[in-house]
Amino acid sequence: MKYSKNLFLLSSLFALSTGAWAEEEKILVAYFSWSSSHNTRTMAEYIAEETGGKLFEIKPAVPYTTSYNQVLDVARKELAEKARPALAENISQEEMASYDTVFVGYPVWWYDAPMIIYSFLESHDFAGKKIIPFATSGGSGLNEEEKFRSLTGTEVAEGLCIRNIRSSNARKQIQDWLSGVFK
């Protein structure tokens, strides 16, 4: 009897902690993901589940090739040219105005964020909002905070980059990082 009561209390605590941040903040989880493994999408889904945030997939108006070798060249060229690929669709200004916190996720492409992330950041007014970057990669880290800060003029939290989003401790890594970010 005592055991099941404790179990009930414990599960209520967990229920409270999941998505609890969304009660105080309105959260958007915007992400771009290219590969068929959808690593960044998986990370975005975890973050949305943990925070109660709304998911928004950033998609290019002209889809990228599905060939890995070709997209490497396309991405390198876009980076060199500081390209700003158009988005297939965007969050409206009214909707964006309603968010306090915007997670921005991407796969690391050539040690940077894909250029479409800069298209997204330049297309909105982030004044008064907090941007929280996150990424997946083959091993490189996430180093875009300062660039995002100077581009948007707003607060940018320290991001999290995960190499293997399907590893057993990925969810725990995300939870630990989120508790630091929302402290």
Ligand X SMILES: Cc1cc2nc3c(=O)[nH]c(=O)nc-3n(C[C@H](O)[C@H](O)[C@H](O)COP(=O)(O)O)c2cc1C
Q: Say how far apart CA 13 and CA 116 lie, in whole Å.
A: 39
Interface residue with ligand X among 27, 28, 29, 39 (CB under 6 A) is 39
Closest residue by Cα to residue 26 from 97, 99, 127: 99
Residue 60 CB, nearest approach to ligand X (Å): 13
Within 10 Å of residue 149's Cβ, how many Cβ atoms?
13
Q: Say how far apart CA 75 and CA 139 lie, in whole Å.
A: 18
Binding mask 89-118 for ligand X (x = CB under 6 A): ------------------xxxxx-------
Residue that has been written with the tokens 């997939």 in this structure: 57
The kind and range of the H/E element at 79 are: helix 68-80
Residue 106 CB, nearest approach to ligand X (Å): 7
* Complex with ligand X: residue 50 or 78, whichever CB lies closer: 78
Which segment (34-42, 53-61, 83-91, 167-175) binds ligand X by CB under 6 A? 34-42
Q: Is 137 in the site for ligand X (CB under 6 A)?
A: yes
Q: Is 37 in the site for ligand X (CB under 6 A)?
A: yes
Instruction: Kindly determine how many residues on this chain lie close enough to bind ligand X according to the rule CB under 6 A.
Output: 21
* Complex with ligand X: residue 26 or 59, whichever CB lies closer: 59
Interface residue with ligand X among 136, 157, 159, 178 (CB under 6 A) is 136
Q: Is 33 in the site for ligand X (CB under 6 A)?
A: yes
Name residue 114's amino acid. P
Query: CA dist 73 to 53, 66, 67, 109, 137, Å?
Result: 34, 12, 10, 11, 17
Residue 163, judged by CB atoms within 10 A of its CB (0-12, 13-18, 19+), counts as middle
* Complex with ligand X: residue 137 or 152, whichever CB lies closer: 137
The kind and range of the H/E element at 106 are: strand 101-107
Task: Say if CB 179 and CB 18 are below 8 A apart.
Answer: no
Q: Is 47 in the site for ligand X (CB under 6 A)?
A: no
Q: Is 85 in the site for ligand X (CB under 6 A)?
A: no
Name the site residues for ligand X (rule: CB under 6 A).
33-35, 37-41, 71-72, 75, 107-111, 136-140
